[in-house]
């Protein structure tokens, strides 16, 4: 049985058939392919779940989404054949994919529920995820296990839910969506994917010899202990909604810094506000170092010394991990005492540090320091997934009601948030949803602090009644 929310539990039964392996629909090369030094770092050795929810479509009457998607996955794996292989550790613990063609896991399921019963808007967290994406025993290992798991669950209303789990070492969010787009195109009858997948993991290998040239605070543990951490048993999860008018109100807080106001993105402004209010809510000592980590996609970036020296950029069709995580750093007292422009400027500066030299330097550091994990002590991780086109994945049933991350931060829920677009049926953005996780007393203080900046009470997504949400 599954419960959607603690406040109004919705129970339903999911009937699953045994998981099967879906192999490429045609022969594929048997070879060993090294992952990049960005791919196989410690913090990426995890499985990441995503979920897409589809309504009934009368034009697809008689078509079975399970059969359509399973067939399209098999054909897509011909083009993305490394995803049908298994990871191995080679010399020095380096990861490589053995392109065995064994395939990915696939589960067929049915649920006695209508999509409308899940409420509106549909956004993470999905407490029923363990029912909609079953953890096949032994499948969650990083080494020598299937690299992807699909579960297609038919709903009583005629819609369906597609849940996917991906070994993160093989692809980042944009890479996962690129593969999903290939499946969707093939499901709609295309003879081949429009985008030719780019492996080229050598582009993000460390230099020989490795020579880090930039300070990477994201891998350094701050001094002292983390007195902002509390028991994971006393955390509150809420998802807050910011309208375009709210964003304009927050941007007006930069009026005292006109140059920043002209240059700052919505991400800079909103992330800066969230960081400032979160710090105030946690109430650390004034001299404690607080950090904001920004996930930055490096595809298409060609600026910097490495580019000038002849190092090309990362192709936009690259489906490996092409994200780095620079950090903004400030003493807690300065964050709380200064205006929003202070935090927004630090966020903007952290993002603007990323160029090709920064990317090469990350790969070099990862190798020299034995693949260190990112440090999350006193760190707030924010990523912007509004432009990831998961909401456009059409397998023949139209766009999903929701398409994107299935969890609020996963194992990092305590420190992570992301920006999600909430749109109507015409695809018009109604606002931005931001999941937040904090200790219960801090959550109330956070809402109060954000309310002061917005000049109105901070609103939960749960109380909104919008017909559509998307990434």
Q: Among 202, 193, 406, 387, which residue's Cα sits nearest to residue 297?
A: 387
The pLDDT tens digits of the residues spanning 252-269 come to: 999 999 999 999 999 999
8 Å CB contact between 306 and 357: yes
pLDDT at 125 over 50: yes
Question: Which ranges in 1-108 belong to alpha helices (H)?
Answer: 65-79
- What is residue 424's predicted lDDT score, i.e. its pLDDT? 67
Q: Is 411 a catalytic residue?
A: no
Among 19-33, 48-62, 375-389, which is the least confidently predicted range?
A: 375-389
Q: Among 352, 362, 363, which residue's Cα sits nearest to residue 301?
A: 352
Residues 6+ positions from 260 with CB-CB distance below 8 Å: 254, 341, 344, 345, 348
Reported confidence tier of residue 104, pLDDT bands at 50, 70, 90: very high
- What is residue 129's predicted lDDT score, i.e. its pLDDT? 81
Span 41-65, mean pLDDT?
93
Q: What separation in angstroms does the CA of 17 have from each of 130, 136, 153, 187?
A: 15, 11, 10, 22
- What is residue 1's predicted lDDT score, i.e. its pLDDT? 30
Span 18-38, mean pLDDT?
98
Instruction: Work out the number of other CB atoms within 10 angstroms of the CB of residue 324.
Output: 22
Rounded to two decimals, the pTM is 0.89
User: What residue segments make up the domains of the chain, in order of their start?
Assistant: 14-195, 217-463
- What is residue 230's predicted lDDT score, i.e. its pLDDT? 58
**Residue from 98, 110, 220, 394 carrying the catalytic annotation:** 394
- What is residue 462's predicted lDDT score, i.e. its pLDDT? 52
Strand 416-423 vs strand 379-384: parallel, antiparallel, or unpaired? parallel
Q: How many residues does the chain have?
A: 471
pLDDT at 428 over 90: no
Instruction: Work out the number of other CB atoms within 10 angstroms of the CB of residue 69.
Output: 24
Asked if 14-195 and 217-463 have one fold, the answer is: yes
Span 277-304, mean pLDDT?
90
Tally of helices (H runs) and strands (E runs) in the chain:
11, 19
- What is residue 2's predicted lDDT score, i.e. its pLDDT? 36
Distance CA 360, CA 306 (A): 8
The pLDDT tens digits of the residues spanning 301-330 come to: 865 544 444 456 899 899 999 999 999 999
Q: Which structure tokens are listed for 311?
A: 């190092």
Distance CA 38, CA 200 (A): 12
Q: Among 469, 412, 409, which residue's Cα sits nearest to residue 435?
A: 409
More confident residue, 117 or 242: 242
Sheet of 429-439, strands arranged across? 327-331, 289-294, 379-384, 416-423, 429-439, 235-242, 459-460
8 Å CB contact between 419 and 381: no
Give the burial class of 289: count Cβ atoms within 10 A of its Cβ; 0-12 exposed, 13-18 middle, 19 or more buried: middle
Q: Is 466 a catalytic residue?
A: no
Span 211-218, mean pLDDT?
94
Span 453-463, mean pLDDT?
77
Q: Kindly report the CATH class assigned to 14-195.
A: alpha beta
DSSP 202-214: GGGSPPSS----S
8 Å CB contact between 320 and 39: yes
- What is residue 6's predicted lDDT score, i.e. its pLDDT? 36
217-463 classified as CATH 3.30.559.10: yes
**Residue from 47, 79, 168, 466 carrying the catalytic annotation:** 168
Residue with tokens 């395939």: 103
pLDDT at 270 over 90: yes
- What is residue 304's predicted lDDT score, i.e. its pLDDT? 54
pLDDT at 466 over 70: no
- What is residue 70's predicted lDDT score, i.e. its pLDDT? 98
Counting Cα atoms < 13 Å in the Cβ hemisphere of 214 gives 25
Span 409-414, mean pLDDT?
60
Report the percent of the chain where pLDDT is more than 70: 87
Q: Among 456, 391, 393, which residue's Cα sits nearest to residue 423?
A: 391
Q: Among 406, 352, 387, 328, which residue's Cα sits nearest to residue 133?
A: 406
Q: Which helix (H) or strand (E) holds 7?
A: none
Reported confidence tier of residue 46, pLDDT bands at 50, 70, 90: very high
Distance CA 167, CA 146 (A): 8
Q: Which helix (H) or strand (E) holds 410?
A: none
Among 71-85, 278-292, 341-355, 454-468, which is the least confidently predicted range?
A: 454-468
The values of phi and psi at residue 20, to 5°, are -125, 160
- What is residue 412's predicted lDDT score, i.e. its pLDDT? 63
Span 207-232, mean pLDDT?
83
pLDDT at 461 over 70: no
- What is residue 81's predicted lDDT score, i.e. its pLDDT? 98
Q: Three-state SS string across 222-288, please?
A: CCCCCCCCCCHHHEEEEEEEECHHHHHHHHHCCCCCHHHHHHCCHHHHHHHHHHHHHHHHHCCCCCC
SS3 50: strand
pLDDT at 232 over 70: no
pLDDT at 457 over 80: yes
pLDDT at 47 over 60: yes
Is the dihedral angle over the CA atoms 107, 108, 112, 114 positive or is it negative? positive
Span 343-347, mean pLDDT?
97
Span 354-379, mean pLDDT?
93
- What is residue 117's predicted lDDT score, i.e. its pLDDT? 76
Report the percent of the chain where pLDDT is more than 90: 69
pLDDT at 112 over 80: yes
pLDDT at 434 over 80: yes
């Amino acid at each position: 049985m599954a419960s959607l929310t603690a406040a109004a539990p919705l129970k339903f039964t999911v009937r699953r058939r045994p998981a099967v392996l879906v192999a490429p629909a045609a022969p594929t090369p048997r070879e060993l392919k090294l992952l990049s030094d960005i791919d196989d770092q410690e913090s990426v050795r995890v499985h990441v779940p995503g979920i897409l929810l589809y309504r009934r479509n009368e034009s697809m009457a008689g078509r079975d989404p399970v059969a359509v998607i399973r067939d399209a996955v098999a054909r897509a794996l011909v083009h993305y054949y490394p995803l049908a292989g298994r990871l191995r550790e080679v010399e020095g613990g380096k990861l490589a994919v053995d392109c065995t063609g064994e395939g990915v896991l696939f589960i067929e399921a049915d649920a006695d529920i209508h999509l409308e019963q899940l409420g509106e808007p549909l956004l993470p967290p999905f407490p029923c995820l363990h029912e909609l994406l079953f953890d096949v025993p032994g499948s969650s290992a990083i080494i020598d296990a299937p690299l992807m798991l699909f579960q297609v669950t038919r709903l009583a209303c005629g819609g369906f839910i597609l849940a996917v789990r991906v070994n993160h070492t093989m692809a980042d969010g944009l890479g996962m969506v690129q593969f999903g787009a290939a499946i969707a195109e093939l499901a709609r009858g295309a003879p081949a994917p429009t985008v030719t997948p780019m492996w080229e993991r050598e582009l993000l290998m460390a230099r020989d010899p490795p020579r880090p040239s930039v300070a990477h605070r994201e891998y350094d543990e701050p001094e002292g202990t983390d007195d902002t951490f509390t028991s994971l048993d006393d955390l509150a999860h809420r998802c807050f909604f910011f309208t375009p008018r709210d964003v304009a109100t927050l941007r007006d807080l930069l009026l005292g810094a006109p140059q920043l106001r002209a240059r700052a993105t919505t991400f800079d402004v909103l992330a800066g506000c969230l960081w400032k209010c979160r710090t105030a809510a946690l109430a650390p000592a004034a001299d404690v170092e607080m950090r904001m980590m920004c996930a930055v996609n490096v595809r298409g970036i060609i600026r910097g010394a490495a580019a000038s020296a002849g190092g090309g950029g990362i192709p936009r069709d690259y489906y490996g991990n092409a994200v780095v995580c620079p950090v903004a750093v400030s003493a807690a007292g300065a964050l709380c005492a200064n205006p929003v422009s202070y935090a927004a400027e630090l966020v903007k500066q952290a993002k603007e540090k990323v160029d090709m030299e920064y990317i090469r330097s990350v790969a070099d550091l990862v190798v020299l320091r034995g693949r260190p994990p990112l440090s999350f002590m006193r760190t707030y991780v924010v990523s912007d997934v509004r432009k990831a086109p998961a909401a456009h994945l059409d397998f023949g049933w139209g766009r999903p009601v929701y398409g994107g991350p299935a969890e609020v931060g996963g194992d990092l829920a305590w420190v992570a948030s992301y920006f999600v677009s909430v749109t109507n049926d015409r695809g018009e953005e109604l606002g931005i949803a931001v999941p937040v996780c904090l200790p219960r007393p801090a959550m109330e203080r956070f809402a109060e602090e954000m309310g002061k900046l917005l000049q109105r009470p901070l609103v939960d997504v749960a109380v909104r009644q919008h017909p559509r949400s998307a990434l």
